[in-house]
Amino acid sequence: MITSDVLYSEDPFDVYVREVDKVAPLDATEEARCISLARVASDLTDAARKRLLEANLHHVIALAELHKNDHVHILDLIQRGNEGLIAALDN
């Protein structure tokens, strides 16, 4: 668990990346199982949805780093990417 002292004394991007790094990536079997649950039930279970979301945050960070510039803060890019990921899971 991160203490509040750590949150206020470190760069928020570094804290976020460290938290995302704690999430294990999906293996092909687990990803296929989550997707098949979505197709069969036409709605993701909360656990499968959460797992897909958390496992794909690494991709959001990577894309944000590719598109960062001086005009938009990287955390804003990550927020928009996370919103897109949630929208994709909802559809």
Q: How far is CA 8 from CA 12, 14, 59, 76, in A?
A: 8, 12, 26, 18
- The yes-or-no verdict on residue 63 having pLDDT over 60 is yes
Q: Residue 1 — very low, low, confident or very high, per pLDDT cuts 50/70/90? A: very low
Q: Residue 50's pLDDT is what?
A: 85
- The yes-or-no verdict on residue 42 having pLDDT over 90 is no
- Arithmetic mean of pLDDT, 62-73: 90
- The yes-or-no verdict on residue 6 having pLDDT over 70 is no
Q: What is the pTM of this model?
A: 0.75
Cα separation, 63 vs 82, whole angstroms: 11
